[in-house]
Structure formats: structure tokens, C-alpha cells
A and B are shown apart, each in its own frame.
Chain A
């Protein structure tokens, strides 16, 4: 039972913190849409959109899904799936688009 060092936490954030996170998420989305409609050059726009998306993703999983407060096992299980997905699909997309004779004409 040595793994039981990190039992179920109950000190999740309270409602006011949830609302703050909700407002941040809304603002980020507004910025994303604004970027998409403003004259920001593409080279700046696309990286900023990706960064904002990652931030929103992290806010939801860490606070709304309590990964920041819960047992490390949940974090590991999810991160494992996410990491495998990112690695194999990045490799597949590169192979399909850029490898050998598959390169689009």
C-alpha cells in the first residue's frame, strides 16, 4: 500500500475560483476570435492561437477537472494517453505529408 501516499483530495477550488477561471476562458476565446478578425500577420496569429488554445486546455484540465488538486495517478493516466497521441499522430502526419514519394506534388 505504499502507493497510497496521495489519497483522494477534497479541497477542490470553490465556486468563486471557478467563476474566475470561467471569465479567463471567455476572455481568451474573445482574444482568439479578435486575432482571427484583425489584421495580425499570419506568422504571429497562428502561434498566438496555438498558445491560447494550450492555455485554455490546461486551465480546464487543471482546475475544472481538478488535475492540479487530485492524485497524481489521474494526471499520469491522462498525460500518458495525451503523450502517446501527440507522438504517434505527429509522426504519422509528417510521414504522410513529407516522407519519400508521398510528398504532395
Chain B
């Protein structure tokens, strides 16, 4: 980024005496990376995206279309707890992978990035299994607004996880072919931010969509 702008010290009006003018332009206005700033901007927007999905679920929670048995009582909390735990630990794998590539440890990076991708895949498999069980028990997209909002919310989250897994596997394969080194740790960091965001969305979903409705359904 620096090579072109640093050659342009000319064009300075005489009036400028502040220190900022004499400082060489070595980077961006905020001194931050464009890519990371873009990722955080996008994540701010994603809050609105998942917020809309969660709101629809909360509004339609209890609208069972005359089928009260198709309700949060169907949820298999022990099973979902395990997959939640796996996704949470994948975030730990992600930060360990980032720490590894930042200190230039390619071997550890590959182990942790692959572990993270595997944990993401386990979570996705769990979600596919869960959907299959629910459908067999009669809960389909067109059963009730409750069912529709559940599937669309968790489904969109699943698509986010899938995109994340694809990116993680790409990182791993780039590292295996020697194309990803500690110079590119910023790429890993940005994909990591996305991955953690998907995880915090699930933290919210687990409580708001599974635990609390289940707690109430038990009454």
C-alpha cells in the first residue's frame, strides 16, 4: 500500500505546519487494515440479519397451527448441547490456529485450522441429523409459523457455518501447498472473526431458541 503514496510529499501548501503533515503516509487514514475494517462493518450488518431471524422466531413462538405437539418440546437438549459445545470449542481452535500462524508455526496452524474445520463439520452433521429427526416427527417447513421460523433461522446459521468451513479448508490447503505463511496472518484473522461471529450467533440461538422455550414447554 505504501509504495505509491510515500513518493508524494509534494503539493504541500505553506500553511501546513502541523506534525501530521510532515509525517510520512505509511498506511491508511485510521492506521487500520481495510480488510479488517470491512469485516467488522459486515459483522455489524450481520447483527441486523440474524436479529430479524431471531425476532421472527420469538414472534411466532407459540403459533403451532393447531399442532401443539410440534413445539419446543421436540427439542433434544442433550444432543444440541453437545453440538453447541463442539461449535464453541471450534472457536478455541480458531484462536489457537491464529496464534500459531502469527508466531510462524505452520505445523500447529495446520493442526488447529483443520481441527476447527472438523468441529464445524461435526456441528453441521448434527444439524442435518436434527432436521431429519424433526421432519420424521412431523415438523416441516410448512407445518406452522413456529416450524418455518425455526428452520429458516437455524438453516441460515448452518449456511454461514458451511461458508466458514469452506474458507477454513481453503486456508488449510493453502498452507499445505506453502502459499499461506505468517505474512498472511491477517487473512486468517479476518476469517477467524467471521467464524467467531457465527459462534456467538449460536450462543444466542442456543439460549433463546432451545433452552428458554424448552424450559417453558416443560411447564
Interface on A for B, CB 8 Å cutoff?
1-4, 6-8, 12, 14-15, 18-19, 21-22, 25-26, 29, 32-33, 35-37, 42, 45-46, 49-50, 52-53, 56-57, 60-61, 64-65, 71, 73-74, 77-78, 80-82, 84-86, 88-89, 92-93, 96-97
**B208 CB contacts on chain A under 8 angstroms:** 53
Count of chain B residues with a beta carbon within 8 Å of a chain A beta carbon: 57
Please pick, from B31, B200, B211, the residue contacting A7 in the complex, using a CB distance under 8 A. Answer: B31
Residues of A within 8 A of B40 (CB): 73-74, 77-78
In angstroms, Cα B157 to Cα A104, docked, is 29
Confirm or deny: B132 has a beta carbon within 8 angstroms of a beta carbon on chain A: no
Q: From DSSP, what is the main secondary structure of chain A's interface residues?
A: helix
Asked if B47 and A19 make an inter-chain contact with CB atoms under 8 angstroms apart, the answer reads no
Contact residues in B for A73 (Cβ distance below 8 Å) = 30, 32, 37, 40
Residue from A33, A80, A92 with most neighbouring chain B CB atoms (10 Å): A33
In the complex, the answer to whether B31 meets A93 with C-beta atoms within 8 Å is no
Contacts of A19 in B (CB 8 A): 92, 96
* Residue ranges of B at the interface with A (Cβ–Cβ < 8 Å): 20, 23, 27, 29-33, 36-37, 40-41, 43-48, 51-52, 54-55, 58-59, 77-78, 81, 84-85, 88-89, 91-92, 94-96, 98-100, 102, 192-193, 196-197, 199-200, 203-204, 206-208, 211-212, 214-216, 219
Q: In the complex, which of the residues B36, B44, B52 contacts A81, with contact meaning CB atoms closer than 8 Å?
A: B44
Is A65's CB under 8 angstroms from B193's CB?
yes
Shortest C-beta distance, A77 to chain B (Å), equals 5
Contact B96 A85 (CB under 8 A): no
Task: Report if A56-B37 is in contact (Cβ < 8 Å); known contacts: A8-B31, A26-B88, A64-B95.
Answer: no
A64 pairs with B94, CB closer than 8 A = yes
**Given A21-B92, A26-B88, 20 more contacts at CB 8 Å?**
A7-B30, A12-B99, A14-B99, A18-B92, A18-B99, A19-B92, A25-B91, A53-B208, A56-B203, A73-B37, A77-B37, A77-B43, A78-B40, A78-B47, A81-B43, A81-B46, A82-B47, A85-B47, A89-B51, A89-B52
Q: Is the CB of B95 within 8 A of A29?
A: no
Asked if residues B59 and A77 are in contact (CB atoms below 8 Å), the reply is no
The answer to whether A81 touches B96 (Cβ under 8 A) is: no
